[in-house]
Amino acid sequence: MRPFLPLALALPFLVSAAPASTPSYESKAPVAYMIDLSSGRVLFERDSNRQIPPASMAKMMTTHVAFRLIKEGKLRLDQTFTMRPETWRKWHSQGSTMFIKANEAVSVENLLHGIVALSGNDACVVLAEGISGSEEAFADLMNAEAKRLGLTGSHFGNSNGWPDEGVTHVTARDLAVLARASVEETPDLYRQFYATPSFTWGETMGGAAISQANRNPILGKIAGADGLKTGHTEEAGYGFTGSAVQNGRRLIMVVAGLPTYNGRVDESVRFMEWGFKAWQARPIAKKGTVLGQARVQGGWARTVDLVVPRDLSATVPATASGSLSGKIVYDGPVKAPIAQGQEIAHLVVDAGDGVPQSLPLVAKEAVSEAGFFGRLWIGFLSLFG
């Protein structure tokens, strides 16, 4: 059962958007995806569910697992792990490197900088072995997290995305979900590491420090750019998962399979610019606004107010004007107990272009479960309306 309340007349603040043609975009990437997190609207997708090799974009999952362990108190930034000689022999010159020496102890904080900014394959393996004892065991953590996030098209066989005959694969949509999880679940760590413009570690034969720039192609080119990760192998081509925030709108984009380094830079910048210029946010309601009620089953209250958990906006074409319409939708009645702030309904908004946008609504207050006699009393009261 999907109860709903029409909102076009009831909510006069649903204004300033009207039917407009969906903005077009000619992507140069064979695989591409973009989502506006402020509304959840997908702005563009091309072959977004195709399973592809992630190359170094797999390091986003390594970083995300570490972020969550830090958040849970199971890992510390000042904790150190040592580069084992056998790990050094395998990874000191394989692709991108942080230039960690054999038997060198490196803090988790520096390893994360080496992974995010420098795309260090060696840093990934040192971190994975330090956390789980082996890279294989760490891959189990990666896959468990992928399952929790609902990444149905992805699987991880190693920590750094090194080619492994297809064992490690992702989809563009899954990469966007993973990026969103890092942004929203561990925001402080995300800000601390992903926007670092450069990082210095190691030294040349002459003793000079080795400083490497962050490989993110939109940093410094797109206002508000603050993440995430590039990837490249001969098999995968050039790819990038990126994010930027402007005026409260956060876009996440993914491109993959591009043929050249410069092509990745140009397409990443062009794609993100299109996302911000061709679309706009239309405010709907401020955080804390009560938009309606949901019926409750088995609780001490028969209804619960539905409130906006954050400032809500719809994403519409930049050329749109006029009015929005919407409805509150939920599976109901909602069974008690209900926690304060629990997501129990959605505001489904229609901007007139045939693409509904579903925005979350939460319970304003907790509703405890009524016991046997409580249910009898509520039933008795219902006889009198």
Residue 121 lies in a domain: yes
Residue 9's pLDDT is what? Answer: 31
Backbone CA torsion sign across 121, 122, 123, 125: positive
Residue 32 lies in a domain: no
Instruction: Provide the token pair at 53.
Output: 């090799």
Please tell me whether residues 183 and 302 are part of one structural domain.
Answer: no
Please tell me whether residues 367 and 331 are part of one structural domain.
Answer: yes
Residue 31 lies in a domain: no
Residue 11's pLDDT is what? Answer: 45
Residue 25 lies in a domain: no
Contacts of 384 (CB under 8 A, 6+ apart): none
* Residue in 220, 212, 259 with CA at minimum distance from that of residue 242: 220
Please tell me whether residues 195 and 232 are part of one structural domain.
Answer: yes
Domain boundary among 277, 296, 319: 277
Please give the full DSSP string across 214-232, using - where no structure is assigned. ---TTTTTSTTEEEEEEEE
Please tell me whether residues 59 and 203 are part of one structural domain.
Answer: yes
Q: Which domain holds residue 107?
A: 47-277
The CATH number for 355's domain is 2.60.410.10
Structural domains of the chain, count: 2
Question: In angstroms, rounded to a whole number, what is the distance separating the alpha carbons of residues 254 and 103?
Answer: 37
Residue 8's pLDDT is what? Answer: 36
Residue 148 lies in a domain: yes
The answer to whether the beta carbons of residues 61 and 174 sit under 8 Å apart is no
Cis peptide before 228 (omega within 30 of 0): yes
Residue 378's pLDDT is what? Answer: 58
The CATH number for 149's domain is 3.40.710.10
Residue 264's pLDDT is what? Answer: 98
The answer to whether the beta carbons of residues 19 and 320 sit under 8 Å apart is yes
Please tell me whether residues 178 and 292 are part of one structural domain.
Answer: no
Please tell me whether residues 289 and 270 are part of one structural domain.
Answer: no
pLDDT, one tens digit for every residue, the chain (385 residues):
455 444 433 343 444 444 567 899 999 999 999 999 988 999 999 999 999 999 999 999 999 999 999 999 999 999 999 999 999 999 999 999 999 999 999 999 999 999 999 999 999 999 999 999 999 999 999 999 999 999 999 999 999 999 999 999 999 999 999 999 999 999 999 999 999 999 999 877 777 888 999 999 999 999 999 999 999 999 999 999 999 999 989 999 999 999 999 999 999 999 999 999 999 998 888 999 999 999 998 888 889 999 999 888 889 888 877 678 889 999 879 999 999 999 999 999 887 777 788 889 999 999 998 765 555 555 655 555 5
Residue 298's pLDDT is what? Answer: 87
Residue 27's pLDDT is what? Answer: 96
Where helices occur in the chain by DSSP H, the ranges are 59-71, 85-91, 108-116, 121-132, 135-149, 172-185, 187-194, 261-277, 372-382
Please tell me whether residues 161 and 236 are part of one structural domain.
Answer: yes
Please tell me whether residues 257 and 366 are part of one structural domain.
Answer: no
Please tell me whether residues 364 and 340 are part of one structural domain.
Answer: yes
Please tell me whether residues 253 and 377 are part of one structural domain.
Answer: no
Please tell me whether residues 177 and 293 are part of one structural domain.
Answer: no
Q: Please, what is the angle between helix 172-185 and helix 187-194, to 10°?
A: 110
Residue 382's pLDDT is what? Answer: 58
Domain boundary among 277, 299, 326: 277
* Residue in 192, 158, 227 with CA at minimum distance from that of residue 77: 192
Domain boundary among 258, 277, 296: 277
Residue 108 lies in a domain: yes
Residue 288's pLDDT is what? Answer: 93
Q: What is the pTM of this model?
A: 0.87
Please tell me whether residues 174 and 322 are part of one structural domain.
Answer: no
Residue 126's pLDDT is what? Answer: 98
Residue 224 lies in a domain: yes
